[in-house]
Amino acid sequence: MAGKGNILVFIDLPGGCLDETGKGLLGYGARLSGILGSPWEVVVPVAPDAEARAGFAAYGAPVVTELEGGATLLDAPAHLAAALAACAADGKATLVLLPHNDLGATLAPVVAVALDASLMTEAVTLRRLKDGVEISRQALGVRLSETRLWDQARPLVLTMPTRALSQVLLATVAPSKPSYESYHPTVPLGATARVIGRIPPDPQTVDLTDAEVIFSAGKGCDPGTFAQLQELCRLLNVSFGVTRPVYDLGWTGFERMVGQTGRTVTPKLYLALGISGSMHHVGGIKDARRIVAVNTDAKAPIFPNCNEGFVADLKELLPRLIEKAKSAGGAA
């Protein structure tokens, strides 16, 4: 384990792979090391595959520690939290960084109690001040921001949401060849809650902030094309969203509204159908990896803010897309 003052970055490596959340955590770990002037290391519950190892090297991770028995611990979050806390305590870590996903949000409070540490969830920014470290977090979704000062007198457990990590660029660090270590946690393995199965998220009901692909309807949709869009989303198994004007019509709930007054999203693909592109809506999708827009107005403000734009009539386009989707899926 690294020396005192270490920053411990926990990456769950789903299937042994380094996903986008993991890359964001690596980038932020490297950045925190520079901000706090402290060494950092990575802790994983399973053995990383070759691509993950290359990722650790690219982000300059100096040490990667694998928790022995981590694959089993993943099914017992309480035990995994105890093992992670023991690892942090042995290394005298002052900061433990986790993703703010289902697993990270479950582990964080347990680790904080075990370490007698402060806890800050859904943090989005961190900067060094003369009298401590200023941390800002999201409150009430993304509508309010709360800022606190960490004086570093106690350890800190910090979680970061996916949408914040998606904005982290590759830190300016020299590639390294990490040393790989194993850690055998000495923790009680008594009866506790266990994971007995994992159900993939349903794109039709998943929170839009976690959706990978979103098709959204704007005021260019009428009831007919809106129904067709929902059918297309079901056929392709993707999430659907709406703009504020569509929500105001009562066609769907608030949880489907995309924009600065609704959900700020970071999908891999965002398809804007009949959306003009108001400032508030564009502000809520600006961190999407790829934005494709379809509108009948060639001068719609959405076009300068997208990767690809098409001038087309949804009444003609959507039936064709549905036909293609059914054909590809073997539906009658």
Domain boundaries, the chain: 7-183, 208-329
Q: What is the DSSP string of 67-93?
A: ETTHHHHTT-HHHHHHHHHHHHHHTT-
Domains 7-183 and 208-329 share a fold: yes
Q: Using the predicted structure, report yes or no on whether residue 108 has a pLDDT greater than 90.
A: yes
Helix, strand or coil, per DSSP, at residue 138: strand
Quick one: average pLDDT of 105-113?
94
- Rounded CA separation 82/159 (Å): 17
Sort 173 into a burial class: Cβ within 10 Å, 0-12 / 13-18 / 19+: middle
- Rounded CA separation 39/322 (Å): 53
Instruction: Give the least confident one: 34-38, 57-61, 191-195.
Output: 191-195
For helices 20-36 and 50-58, give the axis angle rounded to 10 degrees.
30
**pLDDT class of 162 with cuts at 50, 70, 90:** confident
- pLDDT of 328 reads 84
Quick one: average pLDDT of 227-247?
95
Quick one: average pLDDT of 253-282?
92
Quick one: average pLDDT of 144-149?
86
- pLDDT of 332 reads 44
Q: Using the predicted structure, report yes or no on whether residue 21 has a pLDDT greater than 60.
A: yes
- CA 240 from chain centre, in angstroms, equals 18
Q: Using the predicted structure, report yes or no on whether residue 118 has a pLDDT greater than 50.
A: yes
Q: Under a CB-based contact definition with an 8 Å cutoff, are residues 25 and 165 in contact?
A: yes
User: CA of 184: how far to CAs of 1, 24, 46, 67, 82, in Å?
Assistant: 12, 27, 13, 6, 12
Instruction: Give the least confident one: 74-78, 154-158, 276-280.
Output: 74-78
- Rounded CA separation 296/275 (Å): 10
The structure tokens 């993703």 sit at 99
Quick one: average pLDDT of 309-319?
95
Give the rounded percent of residues in the chain with a pLDDT score beyond 90: 53
- pLDDT of 166 reads 62
Q: What is the pTM (predicted TM-score) of this model?
A: 0.69
Per 3-state DSSP, the chain is made up of helix, strand and coil in percentages (nearest 5) of 35, 25, 40
Element (H, E) at 239: strand 239-242
Instruction: Give the least confident one: 21-25, 63-67, 138-142, 152-156.
Output: 138-142
For helices 223-236 and 314-329, give the axis angle rounded to 10 degrees.
20
- pLDDT of 84 reads 94
Write the class of the CATH domain 208-329.
alpha beta
Choose between 149 and 175: higher pLDDT.
149
Quick one: average pLDDT of 65-91?
89
Q: Using the predicted structure, report yes or no on whether residue 216 has a pLDDT greater than 80.
A: yes
Domain 7-183 carries which CATH code?
A: 3.40.50.620
- pLDDT of 39 reads 92
Q: What is the mean pLDDT of the chain?
A: 87
Helix, strand or coil, per DSSP, at residue 284: helix
Q: Under a CB-based contact definition with an 8 Å cutoff, are residues 92 and 5 in contact?
A: yes
Q: Using the predicted structure, report yes or no on whether residue 45 has a pLDDT greater than 60.
A: yes
